[in-house]
């Protein structure tokens, strides 16, 4: 049984209507890739086995074209390859590439000079990292544009960003299509603002929370860049939002009071582990829950725990073709 039918079978006790599936091309879909480096090759782990490679067909074509060139440059330079253990790639819709090289050594001036030369040679931005050190050849932010209203969005080399370039904008459109009778939105795990920014054009006000410092900086930069004035952002974890609603005061809220909002919807996009009991208690108060999940197992567990709500709309997005992974976008409403 394939992963779609398996999920629909597990879902059947909660939802019996048709579940649409949004497919991705099976190759060249990843705009974000991370590799180890060993024995003059990129490496990936498959169970207990290490795989050595010089190309990766799942990566965006711009990354595929760069990978052998980058590897050749690295392998020809003892300065660059010494104690190098990780190589990461990110690209945007304009094919601009950000490469990160991570080292197990103290980075010296000679390595920095060498990397600056490679950045110019290959026409790419490079960030080099080691413990408590970072150097960027240009900007640390990779800017992109969403199809929806041409909104600008930013990511760094070490924060989460939706990896499938073919499905990203489809997912945003689907969330927007799920919205009816919007007032204010509260969002947990908002990340860099992938959904926050488009939804700010749908809702009167958005209260967006995110605990990751790098993602939060990207969100604030995007708010400023797009001249958005109805997103109120706070660097809070999901469990801190529970404490906030229980009456705890946070200096990180500034002058904003959660009591000033009239929330019609809450959006949650948690990590693969799903929701904590505190978060389930928090979201159960809201009439409309937009639940985005990257784990069918934790999603089904959480929805069953949310006995006060039922699934009204749900679609699947095959972010990682040829794997067992699935992305779920759903609308839960109070019974």
**CATH number of the structural domain spanning residue 38:** 2.40.50.1070
- Within this chain, do residues 11 and 70 fall inside the same structural domain, yes or no? no
Considering the domain boundaries, does residue 147 fall inside one?
no
For residue 289, give the CATH number of its domain.
Answer: 3.40.50.150
* pTM of the predicted protein model: 0.95
Largest CA distance in the chain: 64
What's the confidence (pLDDT) of residue 69? 97
Over its length of 335 residues, how does the chain's per-residue pLDDT go in tens digits? 699 999 999 999 999 999 999 999 999 999 999 999 999 999 999 877 899 999 999 999 999 999 999 999 999 999 999 999 999 999 999 999 999 999 999 999 999 999 999 999 999 999 999 999 999 999 999 999 999 999 999 999 999 999 999 999 999 999 999 999 999 999 999 999 999 999 999 999 999 999 999 999 999 999 999 999 999 999 999 999 999 999 999 999 998 999 999 999 999 999 999 999 999 999 999 999 999 999 999 999 999 999 999 999 999 999 999 889 999 999 999 99
Is residue 201 one of the residues assigned to a domain? yes
Q: How far apart are CA 219 and CA 181, in angstroms?
A: 25
Q: Clarify whether residues 109 and 192 are in a common domain.
A: no
Kindly report the number of other CB atoms within 10 A of residue 133's CB atom: 11
- Provide the CA 149 distance to its chain's centre, in angstroms: 20
Q: Does residue 149 fall inside a structural domain?
A: no
Are 172 and 103 within one domain?
no
- On whether both 59 and 16 belong to a single domain, the answer is no
Looking at the domain assignment, is residue 132 inside a domain? yes
Q: Is 33 a catalytic residue?
A: no
Is the domain of 174 the same as that of 228? Answer: yes
Note whether 176 and 53 are same-domain residues.
no
**Residue 105 is part of which domain span?**
32-140
Q: Do 70 and 117 lie in a common domain?
A: yes
Task: Give yes or no: residues 196 and 319 share one domain.
Answer: yes
Q: How far apart are alpha carbons 107 and 209 in whole angstroms? A: 35
Tell whether 172 and 286 lie within a shared domain: yes
Distance from C-alpha of 268 to C-alpha of 238, rounded to nearest angstrom: 9
**Edge-to-edge strand order for the sheet containing 97-103?**
49-53, 41-46, 32-38, 84-91, 97-103, 125-130, 133-136
The answer as to whether 290 is a domain residue is yes
Confidence (pLDDT) at 46? 85
- Residue 36 sits in the same domain as residue 19: no
294 is catalytic: yes
Helix and strand totals (H; E) in the chain: 10, 17
CA distance 87 to 33: 9
Residue 155 lies in a domain: no
Judge whether 148 lies within some domain: no
Q: Is residue 160 part of a domain?
A: no
Q: What φ, ψ does residue 192 adopt, rounded to 5°?
A: -85, -5
User: Which one of 33, 159, 294, 315 is the catalytic residue?
Assistant: 294
DSSP, collapsed to helix, strand or coil, labels residue 312 as strand
How many domains are there within the chain?
2
State whether 181 and 322 are in the same domain: yes
SS3 call for 298: helix
Final residue before a domain boundary, out of 124, 140, 156: 140
On whether both 319 and 174 belong to a single domain, the answer is: yes
Backbone torsion region of residue 132, taken as left when φ is above 0, otherwise alpha when ψ lies between -120 and 50, otherwise beta: left
Q: Which of 96, 125, 140 is the last residue of a domain?
A: 140
């Amino acid at each position: 049984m394939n992963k779609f039918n398996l999920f629909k079978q597990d879902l059947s006790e909660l939802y019996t209507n048709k579940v649409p599936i949004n497919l991705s091309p099976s190759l060249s879909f990843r705009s974000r890739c991370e590799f180890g480096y060993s024995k003059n090759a990129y490496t990936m782990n498959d169970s207990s086995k290490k795989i050595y490679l010089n190309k990766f067909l799942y990566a965006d074509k711009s990354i595929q074209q760069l990978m052998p060139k980058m590897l050749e440059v690295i392998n020809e330079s003892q300065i660059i390859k010494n104690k190098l253990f990780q190589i990461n790639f990110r690209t945007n819709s304009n094919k601009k590439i950000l490469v990160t090289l991570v080292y197990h050594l103290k980075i010296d001036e000679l390595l920095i000079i060498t990397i600056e030369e490679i950045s110019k040679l290959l026409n790419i931005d490079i960030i080099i990292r080691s413990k408590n050190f970072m150097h960027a050849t240009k900007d640390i932010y990779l800017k992109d544009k969403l199809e929806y209203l041409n909104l600008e969005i930013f990511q760094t080399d070490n924060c989460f960003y939706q990896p499938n370039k073919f499905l990203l904008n489809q997912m945003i459109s689907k969330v927007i299509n799920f919205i009816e009778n919007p007032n204010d939105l509260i969002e947990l795990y908002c990340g860099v603002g992938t959904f926050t920014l488009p939804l700010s054009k749908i809702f009167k006000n958005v209260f967006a929370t995110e605990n990751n410092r790098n993602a939060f900086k990207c969100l604030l930069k995007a708010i400023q860049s797009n001249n958005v004035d109805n997103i109120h952002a706070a660097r809070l974890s999901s469990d801190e939002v529970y404490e906030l609603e229980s009456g705890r005061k946070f200096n990180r809220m500034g002058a904003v009071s959660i009591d000033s909002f009239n929330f019609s919807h809450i959006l949650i996009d948690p990590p693969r582990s799903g929701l904590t009991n505190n978060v389930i208690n928090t979201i159960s108060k809201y009439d409309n829950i937009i639940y985005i999940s990257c784990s069918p197992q934790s999603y089904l567990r959480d929805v069953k725990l949310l006995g006060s709500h039922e699934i009204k709309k749900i679609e699947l997005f095959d972010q990682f073709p040829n794997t067992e992974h699935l992305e779920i976008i759903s609308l839960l409403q109070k019974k």
